[in-house]
Structures are given as C-alpha cells and as structure tokens.
C-alpha cells in the first residue's frame, strides 16, 4: 500500500467519526505500534538505499498529518458536545412542581382531632358497629318497641330486623357491659336516618357519643367536660348553658348550648340573634339504662352526650350546607388540604 492510499483510507474513516472515544480507536488503527503507518514504514527495507530517505520523510509527514487531523476532529466533536449539553441543560435551581397527592377527607381529619382531644381528657375512643340490633339502638336505651319516642329517629331496617344505627348511643349498652367504672368512653362514627336531605340534614352523618360513669358523677361534671371540649375544638374559651330537654335514656335530659362561635355571643344570622348555639343533647344516664348494662345505679351514676360531627365542623369553618361533605366535589374537599 502506498502512502497516498493510507491517507485516503484514513480520511474516509475520519469523516464518519461521531464519538470522541471512537477517535482513539482510529488513532490506534493508524498510529499505534502495529498500526497502518508502522506497517507502511516496514516496507522501507524493500527499497533501494537512495529511495529510503525520501520514503521515510513521506511516512513521517503522513504521521503528522494524521495526528493533526485527529486533533482537529477532537476539537470539533468537543464543541459539538458542549453545544448539545448547554441546549439540553437542566436548571436545577428552578422551583419544583408540587405533586398532586391526595389527603384525608375533612371528616376523617376532624374525627382524629376530636379523638385526640378526648384522649387527652382521659377518654377511650371507640368506633360503633354500623349495623346493630333493635336492642342496642333502642331497647337497651329505655325505648321499648311501641314507645312513641321512636319517632324521634327515622330508621332504616334490614329484612332481618336489624338496623343501620340511627345514633352512636347504640354503643352505650356494649360499653357498660364490657368496661368497669370508672368508665370514660367516646364513640365516633357514622349514623343513618331515613329522612329527606336539606342543607342541615343528611341520611348519612356522624355523631360523637360520650359516656362517663363513676361514683358521684353529676351534671356539673357534664357541663364542665363539654365546656373544656368545645373550648379546645374552637380554640378559645367558650361559655355554655343548659336547658331541660327530653331523651328516653337520660334523666334529667338536657340541651347544651355554647356561645355563638361566629359572632361571639353578640347575635348574628347563624345563632338567630340569640348569641347561643344549641349544639347537643345530653343528661344524667337513666338508672334503667345503667341497670340494663349491668351497672348498679345506686352505686354509680354518670352522664352521656351526643354531638353531631358535621354540625360542629360547619360552625367552625362557616360551611352552610351539610351535603358538601359527601358530594365528592373536590373543590370543597381540597380546602381541607
Ligand atoms: N342519641 C341522641 C340523638 O341522636 C343524642 C343524645 C342525646 C345522646 C342525649 C345522648 C344524650 O347520649 O344523653 O338524637
């Protein structure tokens, strides 16, 4: 092979090079110890002494041209690489995009918060059976089958005569039978009523039932327990007041009101200018109810209450329609992120 041919071959191969690392392979192929240029040089022995010098110079020149061409190509590829890199560069200082993760439903958040408050006050927190017996929901609470007070709860029934609980009081009897005084328990869970829905009523809603049974428990303990809870929940000291009411499972039965959380007792449209919000039913547990639970009412007394969970959340956030909670409308749900 002649010097010119080796050069041609080299040039052809060089023009097809795209990668820096392949350039090194090419260099070895031509300039390496056993490379094409050295192979060419070995032919020098076949030449007459007078031609050797000229041939030697030619080969050396070829070597330098190849070296220079590789160097140029290297520079070229390097600048290409740099250009591409700067085009594709990521700006790691740009602020990230917040991932669209889910979060807990407002009802769940509030349930946990309320459970936490009562736990700090020494109460055990339970969940109700969502379907229970006539006995648990009514009879054990001093409401026999034909008692007119049953009309207070629009009840769904299963074919077998069970029912989706109409209130979390349905857990009272279980609690009395499975715990020993002092009993401090709170039940937070879903209730169901067969009634038309409007801004203030849902067929599915939540209640917080509470019971406290021990020696010498009075209405004074009840009122103070509620005052502490509501002051914690609404984040400031609130006044309370009670007035007589009727529920078959308490005697006396009471309705407890708190100072309006929106106008702070001054009077507004939510509290109908009264400054007070009637917020829950409560009372001293009826002796028959304690007895039915295996507790001797001569030794122990107690109080119970039932709070509508959605109602107290609505007052805290100024929500005007209870149906938002189960609407599945993400614009509402996401406000509680
Ligand atoms: N269970 C009642 C209801 O759903 C609320 C209630 C009232 C619960 C008085 C009580 C209570 O524990 O003492 O309407």
Q: Would 96 be classed as within a structural domain?
A: no
The whole-number average pLDDT for the span 274-298 is 97
Q: Which DSSP category does 259 fall into?
A: E
169 lines ligand 1 (CB under 6 A): yes
What pLDDT is stored for residue 138 in this prediction?
97
Same domain, 65 and 141: no
Same domain, 32 and 181: no
**How many separate domains does the chain show?**
2
Encode 284-311: b = buried (16+ Cβ within 10 Å), e = exposed. Answer: bbbbebbebbebebeebbbbbbbbbbbb
Q: Please tell me the pTM assigned to this model.
A: 0.73
Same domain, 155 and 285: yes
Specify the CATH number for the domain of residue 192. 3.30.930.10
Task: Give the β-pairing of 204-214 and 301-308.
Answer: antiparallel
Each residue's pLDDT tens digit, 248-279: 999 999 999 999 999 999 999 989 999 999 99
Domain that includes residue 53, residue range: 3-88
Considering only residues 309 and 52, tell me which one the structure prediction assigns the higher pLDDT.
Answer: 309
> How high is the mean pLDDT of the chain?
94
Same domain, 163 and 52: no
Q: Which DSSP category does 236 fall into?
A: S
10 lines ligand 1 (CB under 6 A): no
Residues 6+ away with beta carbon under 8 Å from 326: 202, 204
- Cα gap 290→296, rounded to integer Å: 7
Q: Report the nearest atom of ligand 1 relative to the CA of 209.
A: 12
Q: Would 123 be classed as within a structural domain?
A: yes
The percentage of residues in the chain with a pLDDT greater than 70, rounded to a whole number, is 100
Q: Would 99 be classed as within a structural domain?
A: no
Whether residue 1 is predicted with pLDDT greater than 70 in this model: the reply is no
Residue with tokens 């000229």, as numbered in its chain: 54
What pLDDT is stored for residue 282 in this prediction?
98
Same domain, 227 and 323: yes
**Residue 247 CA, ligand 1 centroid: distance in Å:** 7
192 lines ligand 1 (CB under 6 A): no
187, β-bridge pairs: 126, 209
Each residue's pLDDT tens digit, 61-70: 999 999 999 9
Residue with tokens 């209870």, as numbered in its chain: 322
Query: CA 212, 215, 221, 225: dihedral to nearest 10 degrees?
Result: -30
């Amino acid at each position: 092979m002649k010097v010119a041919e080796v050069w041609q071959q080299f040039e052809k191969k060089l023009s097809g090079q795209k990668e820096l690392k392949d350039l090194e392979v090419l260099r070895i192929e031509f300039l390496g110890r056993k490379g094409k240029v050295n192979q060419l040089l070995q032919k020098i022995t076949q030449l007459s002494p007078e031609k050797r010098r000229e041939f030697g110079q030619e080969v050396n020149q070829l070597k330098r041209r190849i070296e220079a061409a590789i160097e140029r190509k290297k520079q070229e590829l390097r600048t290409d690489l740099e250009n591409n890199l700067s085009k594709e560069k990521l700006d790691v200082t740009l602020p990230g995009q917040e991932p669209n993760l889910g979060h807990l439903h407002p009802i769940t958040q509030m349930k946990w918060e309320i459970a936490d408050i009562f736990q700090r006050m020494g109460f055990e927190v339970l969940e109700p059976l969502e379907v229970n017996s006539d006995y648990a929901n009514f009879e054990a609470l001093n409401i026999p089958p034909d008692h007119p007070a049953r009309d207070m709860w629009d009840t769904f029934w299963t074919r077998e005569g069970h029912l989706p609980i109409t209130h979390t009081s349905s857990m009272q009897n279980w609690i009395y039978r499975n715990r020993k005084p002092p009993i401090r328990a709170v039940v937070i869970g879903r209730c169901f009523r067969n009634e038309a829905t409007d801004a203030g009523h849902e067929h599915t809603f939540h209640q917080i039932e509470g019971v406290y049974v021990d020696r010498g428990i009075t209405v004074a303990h009840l009122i103070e327990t509620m005052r502490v809870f509501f002051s914690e929940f609404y984040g400031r000291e609130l006044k309370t007041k009670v007035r007589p009411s009727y529920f078959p499972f308490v005697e006396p039965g009471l309705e407890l009101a708190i100072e309006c959380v929106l106008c702070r007792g001054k009077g507004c449209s939510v509290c109908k200018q009264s400054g007070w919000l009637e917020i829950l039913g409560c009372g001293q547990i009826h002796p028959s109810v304690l007895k039915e639970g295996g507790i001797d009412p001569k030794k122990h007394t107690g109080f119970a209450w039932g709070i509508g969970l959605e109602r107290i959340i609505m007052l805290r956030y100024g929500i005007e329609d209870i149906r938002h909670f189960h609407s599945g409308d993400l614009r509402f749900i996401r406000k509680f992120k």
